[in-house]
Amino acid sequence: MQARRAARELAFILFSQFDKKITNYSKQDLENIILKSVRILTSNASDELKLTLGSLIDLKEKIDTYEAEHETNLNRPLGVANVPVPLPMTSDLSSKIDDMLEIAEKALLALEIAEFATLESQNEVKNYAVTIAEFFQKNHEAVDGLIKKYSKGWDFDRLVKMDKDILRIAIVELLYIKDAPMKVVVDEALELAKKYSTDDSASFINGILAKVILENGLHA
């Protein structure tokens, strides 16, 4: 995983932890929340891996039971080891394996982010996440004003908070930090939306960011 991608996801988790007005947080507060966020990530990763392990054990038991109760093995002499038998439908296993792979990938990603954020040599991740938060602190009224302006027909206060936080991070990067390619910022905002928010969030966020880019001359 790239350090900046880890930083954006960490910033998103950081934003989700805010329980008071953004300007009330000091830099030390932000760093403490990041530490808390990393602990949450590693805890969630551990839980997801345990879930995956349980699913794998369950799947293995089902396969063993199916094999033992197949007529081929039921007709074999007692005490003789079972022989492999064909499975009825590949889809029976495929969907279960897909679910477990998705859980394992999320857990792995969480552990990678935690590793990036805690390794001394990877302070870039923590620092960039804090930088995003600090720029939003200084410019939160302008950033939220843009979201309100470009989300016509939507009540800002009723927008999904995850969507607002993803937009805040992307807009801060696009208009204030200006240190990453525009396409990368947008693409990774959409990835965060697909991972954490609702089915319609990616298209909504893409539409808002397209307006921000166009009306601020960032497309040139």
pLDDT digits (tens, 9 = 90+) for 142-165: 999 999 999 877 777 788 889 999
Domain count of the fold of the chain: 1
Mean pLDDT, the chain, whole residue set: 82
Looking at mean pLDDT, say which of 19-33, 38-52, 137-151 comes out highest. Answer: 137-151
d(C-alpha 198, C-alpha 85), whole Å: 42
Whether residue 220 lies inside any domain: the answer is no
Burial 178-215 (b: 16+ CB within 10 A, else e): eeeebeebbebbbebbeebbeeebbebbeebbeebbee
Nearest to 129 by CA among 144, 116, 112: 116
Inter-residue contact 12 to 192 (CB < 8 Å)? yes
Tell me, what CATH number does 130's domain have? Answer: 1.10.940.10
> CA angle 8-13-15, nearest 5°?
90
Phi, psi at 75, each rounded to 5°: -90, 0
Inter-residue contact 40 to 13 (CB < 8 Å)? yes
What pTM did the predictor assign? Answer: 0.70
Domain span at 205: 3-215
Mean pLDDT score, 117-145: 82
pLDDT (0 to 100) of residue 175: 94
Whether residue 171 lies inside any domain: the answer is yes
The three-class DSSP label of residue 54 is helix
Mean pLDDT score, 186-211: 90
**Helix 201-215 vs helix 123-150: crossing angle, to nearest 10:** 80
User: What distances in angstroms separate CA 109 from CA 1, 10, 105, 114, 142, one per listed residue?
Assistant: 8, 11, 6, 9, 32
Whether residue 166 lies inside any domain: the answer is yes
